């Protein structure tokens, strides 16, 4: 029997697993990534795209911490679009169609080339235990992998069931086995489990689509990439097509509704409201006679087309009927039918802010297993879990993220405080500090933290240092120069004659003023690079709001610094209603800020918790 020893072992080679393993290795932990199959590394099971609103922010944050998703997506990107280009920079999100094959190849290269990171092929069937703590894994071939901590990123593989019409069978993804043995083994931990579902559309053969009839959606002319370190496109750029469902499509679906797995009562899991199946769309929005369908190429060398917007669990022959009712798809061939998948997830309120299970020391969870959906959400969790698993193994302090510093912090707080009622997806509206947490300043927010905790390598450190110097120089120029309304008006910047002097930085916050407009007043500004000028403008635009939010954020950070031990005795708190006690016990907040976000909490109740914390601290020091 083979034995191996690692600091951290990561189970699963999807998006969560890859960024988890890489993060762990980056901070210096000897790390293993265990995957069912080598070619399962970096697979995009759902649509061939990375980024979007909120999601693009997450990719930038992962990149700011030197994670892999952003730079791999840049290499695989075959169509880049910056969403909300015409709105404020806070809500602009980079997005790319990715070539599946390039993505997998590049991700595999990242995993196999990083020192201290080993990829192992095998099926995990059991945990090695040391009392209540996990200390390694057993593979199907009987070999053992010992590790100080384990990160589980099993996606939809835990008791996964695939549904097509009234057919259903066990599976983790089309063509892959579910991880049932591991599921049974997990039962022993008595974790709170729930069931979710998600769906995919049929995959189409692009060679059988009449593209000449279809509207074309090209990428941006000046593509915005994900990684702060990327400069150029790698792959050839292509367009997507757009077609629409019509009355005939809807009629076919209505006629066959009872044959859909979802409508036939075969599925118990809850699906995401923002990603409804075409059956749902036709039923819930009966008055709409048409829905748009994006035809997304899966790769340059691949003729598979992903029709985004028509996920389904109807029988295969009905799928063929309704797909062929659409313009341009009259003669299309389906390469793989759409299906719904149901799977187990662990109620994320069982996790702490490191994504470690509170009741199973040594075990971390990341990705869909925590009730989320999306590659980006998975990768971001992977990074946090991998980083903390490594820190635990190396005897270093936990690293947590705050709602005030990142979307990563928003997501982890949402998950661990509120749990999920449907697959959790990031939206910019989830971030109350949205104007500060921008995709464009992810590096300013997080790279310093990444450097501090050992996640960021030399190349990024140098590039970031240079960028910050430039920004500081520019900001200094802008802030040190104050001008009167008269001077501004003389230079073509309209402002009321209120006699108030303003710094050029304040002037830059006017919605229609750019650095170029200020060069006449301060010629040295012309020496700044375009990138620096643009960044200064984005920083200045929200300056007043950010100042306002900074007060709230400071109060938040103060409360976040007040840790609550996970064994805190809420029953001993007099004056707290039973209802609140129950809520606190189910969430077991990690700190006072998190406690404050529990529904129904009042400042008074927080004061009570605080009093108890203070007393315990005093008792201990006495």
Partner 1 sequence: MDTIFALASAPGRAGVSVLRISGPGALAALGAFGVSNPVPRETMLRILRDDAGDVLDQALVLYFDGPRSFTGEDVVELHLHGSPAIVTSTLRILGTLPGVRMADAGEFTRRALENGKMDLAQVEGLADLIDSETEAQRRQAQRVFSGKLGSLVQEWRKDLIRAAALLEAVIDFVDEDVPVDVRPEVRNLLEKMDKSLTSQARGAAVAERVRHGFEVAILGAPNAGKSTLLNYLAGRDAAITSAVAGTTRDVIEVRMDLNGLPVTLLDTAGLRETEDEVEAIGISRARERATQADLRLYLLEPGETPQFELDGDDIILAGKADLTGDANGISGETGQGVPQLIERITEVFAKRTAMVATATRERHQHAILRAIQDLTQARAMLDDPRYSEDLIAEELRSAIRALDSLVGIVDVESLLDEIFSSFCIGK
| Contact region with partner 1 (CB under 8 A), list: 56-64, 208-216, 313-321, 425-433 | 425-433
Confirm or reject binding of residue 427 to partner 1 (CB under 8 A). Answer: yes
| Contact region with partner 1 (CB under 8 A), list: 230-238, 270-278, 325-333, 348-356 | 270-278
Out of 285, 459, 500, 566, the residue judged to bind partner 1 by CB under 8 A: 285
Out of 26, 57, 168, 281, the residue judged to bind partner 1 by CB under 8 A: 281
Q: Residue 26: which H helix or E strand, with range?
A: helix 15-26
Residue 32: strand pairing partners: 9, 118
Distances (CA, A) of 438 to 90, 198, 450, 479: 5, 29, 17, 22
- Closest distance of CB 312 from partner 1, Å: 12
Between 269 and 454, whose beta carbon lies closer to partner 1?
A: 269
Between 283 and 468, whose beta carbon lies closer to partner 1?
A: 283
- Closest distance of CB 315 from partner 1, Å: 21
User: What is the spatial distance between Cα 31 and Cα 390, in angstroms, rounded to a whole number?
Assistant: 8
What is the footprint of partner 1 within residues 299-358 (CB under 8 A)? Answer: 308-309
The sheet with strand 77-83 has its strands ordered as 49-51, 93-98, 77-83
Out of 170, 190, 429, 489, the residue judged to bind partner 1 by CB under 8 A: 429
Between 138 and 592, whose beta carbon lies closer to partner 1?
A: 592
Out of 273, 486, 500, 501, the residue judged to bind partner 1 by CB under 8 A: 273
Confirm or reject binding of residue 288 to partner 1 (CB under 8 A). Answer: yes
User: What is the spatial distance between Cα 461 and Cα 456, in angstroms, rounded to a whole number?
Assistant: 7
Out of 170, 566, 586, 602, the residue judged to bind partner 1 by CB under 8 A: 602
Confirm or reject binding of residue 107 to partner 1 (CB under 8 A). Answer: no
Reported as half-sphere exposure (CB side, CA atoms, 13 A), residue 585 has a value of 12
Between 15 and 281, whose beta carbon lies closer to partner 1?
A: 281
Confirm or reject binding of residue 468 to partner 1 (CB under 8 A). Answer: no
User: Can you list the pairs that 171-175 forms with residues at least 24 positions away whose Cβ atoms lie under 8 Å?
Assistant: 171/341, 172/343, 173/43, 173/45, 173/341, 174/200, 174/336, 174/339
| CB 196 within 8 Å of CB 422 | yes
What is the footprint of partner 1 within residues 566-585 (CB under 8 A)? Answer: 573-575
Out of 1, 572, 604, 622, the residue judged to bind partner 1 by CB under 8 A: 604
- The DSSP annotation for 97-161 comes to EE-HHHHHHHHHHHHHHSTTEEEEE--EEEEEEETTEEEEEEETTS-EEEEEEEEE--TT-TT-E
Between 447 and 535, whose beta carbon lies closer to partner 1?
A: 535
What is the footprint of partner 1 within residues 389-408 (CB under 8 A)? Answer: none
Out of 184, 465, 611, 616, the residue judged to bind partner 1 by CB under 8 A: 611
DSSP 8-state assignment for residue 244: E
Out of 115, 175, 395, 511, the residue judged to bind partner 1 by CB under 8 A: 511
- Closest distance of CB 137 from partner 1, Å: 37
Question: Residue 242: exposed, middle, or buried by beta-carbon count in 10 A (0-12, 13-18, 19+)?
Answer: middle
What is the footprint of partner 1 within residues 544-563 (CB under 8 A)? Answer: 545, 551, 554-555
Confirm or reject binding of residue 606 to partner 1 (CB under 8 A). Answer: yes
Give exposure, 568-606, as e/b (b: 16+ Cβ within 10 Å): bebeebeebeeebeebbeebbbbbbbbbbbbeebeeebb
Of the candidates 105, 108, 139, 114, the one whose C-alpha atom is nearest the C-alpha of residue 11 is 139
User: What is the spatial distance between Cα 248 and Cα 499, in angstroms, rounded to a whole number?
Assistant: 67
Tokens of 461: 């450190």
Between 306 and 464, whose beta carbon lies closer to partner 1?
A: 306
User: What is the spatial distance between Cα 591 and Cα 400, in angstroms, rounded to a whole number?
Assistant: 11
User: What is the spatial distance between Cα 390 and Cα 397, in angstroms, rounded to a whole number?
Assistant: 10
- Closest distance of CB 412 from partner 1, Å: 15
Between 331 and 614, whose beta carbon lies closer to partner 1?
A: 614
Instruction: Look at residue 83 and give its three-state secondary structure.
Output: strand
Between 128 and 610, whose beta carbon lies closer to partner 1?
A: 610
User: What is the spatial distance between Cα 298 and Cα 290, in angstroms, rounded to a whole number?
Assistant: 25
Q: Under rule CB under 8 A, how many of the chain's residues touch partner 1?
A: 52
Out of 37, 169, 274, 448, the residue judged to bind partner 1 by CB under 8 A: 274
User: What is the spatial distance between Cα 376 and Cα 98, in angstroms, rounded to a whole number?
Assistant: 13
- Closest distance of CB 592 from partner 1, Å: 10
> Which residues lie closer than 8 Å to 329 by C-beta, 6 or more apart?
204, 209, 210, 243, 307, 323
- Closest distance of CB 608 from partner 1, Å: 6
- Closest distance of CB 520 from partner 1, Å: 21
Distances (CA, A) of 227 to 63, 70, 139, 504: 6, 5, 36, 30
563: Cα separation from own chain's centroid: 26
Helix (H) and strand (E) counts in the chain: 20, 22
Confirm or reject binding of residue 621 to partner 1 (CB under 8 A). Answer: no
| CB 125 within 8 Å of CB 134 | no
Confirm or reject binding of residue 428 to partner 1 (CB under 8 A). Answer: yes
- Closest distance of CB 174 from partner 1, Å: 20
Residue span 224-263 as binding mask against partner 1, x where in contact by CB under 8 A, dash where not: ----------------------------------------
Between 372 and 447, whose beta carbon lies closer to partner 1?
A: 372
Confirm or reject binding of residue 197 to partner 1 (CB under 8 A). Answer: no
- Closest distance of CB 224 from partner 1, Å: 15
Of the candidates 389, 303, 314, 348, the one whose C-alpha atom is nearest the C-alpha of residue 22 is 389
| Contact region with partner 1 (CB under 8 A), list: 27-35, 348-356, 366-374, 421-429 | 421-429
What is the footprint of partner 1 within residues 80-99 (CB under 8 A)? Answer: 83-84, 86-88, 90-91
Confirm or reject binding of residue 292 to partner 1 (CB under 8 A). Answer: yes
Confirm or reject binding of residue 467 to partner 1 (CB under 8 A). Answer: no
Q: Report the interface residues with partner 1, using CB under 8 A.
A: 53-54, 83-84, 86-88, 90-91, 273-276, 280-281, 284-285, 288, 291-294, 308-309, 427-430, 432, 434-435, 511-512, 545, 551, 554-555, 573-575, 599, 602-608, 610-611, 614-615
């Amino acid at each position: 029997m083979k034995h191996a020893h690692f600091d951290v072992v990561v189970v699963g080679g999807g998006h969560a697993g890859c960024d988890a393993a890489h993060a762990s290795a980056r901070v210096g932990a000897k790390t293993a990534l265990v995957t069912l199959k080598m070619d399962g590394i970096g697979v995009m099971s759902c649509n061939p795209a990375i980024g979007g609103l909120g999601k693009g922010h997450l990719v930038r944050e992962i990149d700011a911490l030197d994670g892999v998703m952003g730079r791999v997506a840049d290499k695989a990107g075959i169509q880049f679009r910056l969403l909300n280009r015409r709105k404020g920079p806070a809500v602009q999100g980079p997005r790319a169609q990715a070539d599946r094959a390039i993505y997998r190849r590049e991700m595999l290269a990242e995993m196999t080339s990083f020192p201290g990171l080993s990829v192992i092929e095998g099926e995990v069937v059991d945990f090695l235990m040391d009392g209540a703590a996990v200390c390694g894994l057993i593979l199907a071939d009987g070999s053992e992998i010992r590790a100080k901590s384990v990160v589980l990123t099993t996606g939809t593989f835990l008791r996964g069931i695939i549904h097509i019409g009234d057919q259903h069978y066990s599976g983790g993804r089309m063509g892959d086995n579910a991880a049932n043995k591991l599921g049974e083994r997990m039962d022993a931990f008595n974790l709170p489990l729930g069931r979710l579902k998600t769906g995919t559309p049929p995959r189409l053969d692009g060679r059988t689509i009449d593209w000449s009839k279809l509207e074309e959606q090209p990428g941006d002319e000046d593509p915005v990439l994900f990684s702060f370190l990327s400069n150029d496109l790698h792959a050839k750029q292509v367009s997507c097509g757009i077609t629409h469902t019509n009355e005939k499509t809807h009629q076919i679906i209505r006629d066959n509704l009872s044959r859909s797995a979802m409508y036939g009562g075969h599925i118990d899991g809850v699906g995401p409201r923002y990603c409804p199946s075409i059956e749902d769309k036709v039923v819930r929005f009966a008055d709409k006679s048409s829905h748009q369908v994006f035809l997304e190429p899966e790769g340059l060398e691949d003729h598979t087309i992903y029709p985004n917007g028509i996920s389904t669990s109807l029988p295969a022959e009905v799928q063929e009927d309704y797909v062929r009712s659409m313009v341009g798809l009259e003669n299309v061939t389906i390469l793989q039918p759409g299906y719904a998948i149901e799977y187990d997830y662990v109620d994320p309120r069982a996790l702490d802010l490191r994504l470690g299970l509170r009741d199973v020391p040594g075990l971390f969870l990341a990705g869909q297993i925590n009730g989320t959906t999306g590659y980006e959400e998975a990768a971001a969790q992977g990074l946090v879990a991998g980083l903390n698993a490594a820190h635990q193994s190396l005897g270093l302090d936990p690293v947590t993220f705050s709602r005030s510093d990142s979307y990563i912090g928003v997501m982890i707080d949402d998950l661990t405080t509120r749990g999920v009622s449907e697959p959790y997806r990031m939206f910019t509206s989830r971030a109350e500090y949205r104007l500060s947490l921008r995709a464009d300043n992810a590096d300013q927010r997080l790279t310093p933290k990444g450097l501090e905790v050992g996640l960021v390598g030399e190349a990024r450190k140098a590039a970031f240092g240079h960028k910050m110097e430039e920004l500081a120089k520019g900001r200094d120029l802008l802030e040190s120069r104050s001008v009167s309304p008269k001077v501004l008006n003389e230079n073509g910047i309209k402002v009321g004659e209120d006699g108030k002097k303003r710094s050029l930085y304040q002037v830059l916050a006017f919605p229609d003023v750019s650095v170029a407009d200020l060069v006449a007043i301060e010629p040295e500004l012309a020496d700044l690079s375009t990138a620096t000028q643009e960044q200064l403008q984005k920083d200045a635009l929200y300056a007043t709001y950010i100042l306002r939010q900074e007060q709230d954020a400071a109060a938040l950070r103060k409360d976040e610094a007040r840790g609550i031990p996970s064994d805190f005795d809420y029953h001993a708190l007099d004056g707290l209603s039973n209802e609140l006690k129950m809520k606190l016990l189910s969430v077991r907040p990690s700190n006072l800020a998190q406690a404050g976000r529990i529904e129904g909490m009042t400042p008074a109740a927080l004061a009570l918790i605080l009093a108890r914390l203070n007393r315990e601290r005093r008792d201990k020091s006495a």
